[in-house]
Amino acid sequence: MHPPSSLDPSFVEIGWPVVVVLAYLGALITGIVKSFTTRRQPNRRNIRIATVVLTTPIWLIVAFLVFLWRDFKEPPTLAELQHDFLSKRADLEMILAMFDQDTNFSRIAPDFVDGTPEPPNVLGRHMAGDPQAGLPKARWDADRKIYARNGIKLGTLRDDALDAFIMVDSGGMRDSGHTTGYLHCALGTSAAGYRFEPCVLHQESGKGDYEPRRVPEQYSSQKLDDRWYAYDWGR
């Protein structure tokens, strides 16, 4: 009789990674069982400590998968933003009204603010809790509350043309991601060198390059009402 061959379907070759995984799972299951069945101290305590240590690789894998999911998950589509607009419009307009009062900031996110050159003490980016941020905590908390109940992860940004972007979420890799959200176009023309095209073309829907002279980015938009648009912007 010849020894089993790798060509024989009844022969299964087990590599060392499988052996390591099986040994790990066996040790983990044994530790869990013994941590409940062992009565004598300090043996029981030591077994539980060892079992917790054995679970560390599992938690590291879970954390890594969550990190990947956050990078690769897709933000709401234009159709989803359009569907939610009527139910969220009152809150979106409240965000806009509050932002209009905060003229010293170009962006207000849940965890940071970007200041404008006036006054000088808020110029630059300031994280939550920074006394130099210039935005009172109660005022910031009001923004966070509205952001949270509407799933707005990235806050609000105003560009040089004074158009306001309420950024719901982003997805993709950091160098090739895109952001979707709601856009409110300012009245009239702007002295800014470039303006986001939906606020210039006023189309029901649009698609094209965004500032092609600087970076190769794309945008798409869907008109919602008057000066409101849903937008998708990125690479």
| % of the chain beyond a pLDDT of 90 | 37
What pLDDT shows up at residue 11? 46
* Residue carrying the six token digits 């995984």: 21
pLDDT digits (tens, 9 = 90+) for 205-218: 988 775 545 555 78
- The CB-side HSE value for 126 (13 A sphere, CA atoms) comes to 23
pLDDT digits (tens, 9 = 90+) for 101-110: 988 899 999 9
Give me the count of residues in the chain: 235
Mean pLDDT for the chain overall: 81
Residue 170 to residue 125: CA distance in whole angstroms:
20
Residue 11 to residue 186: CA distance in whole angstroms:
71
Average of per-residue pLDDT across 169-183:
81
What pLDDT shows up at residue 6? 45
What pLDDT shows up at residue 96? 95
Runs of H (alpha helix) within the chain? 16-37, 43-54, 56-72, 78-101, 137-149, 198-201
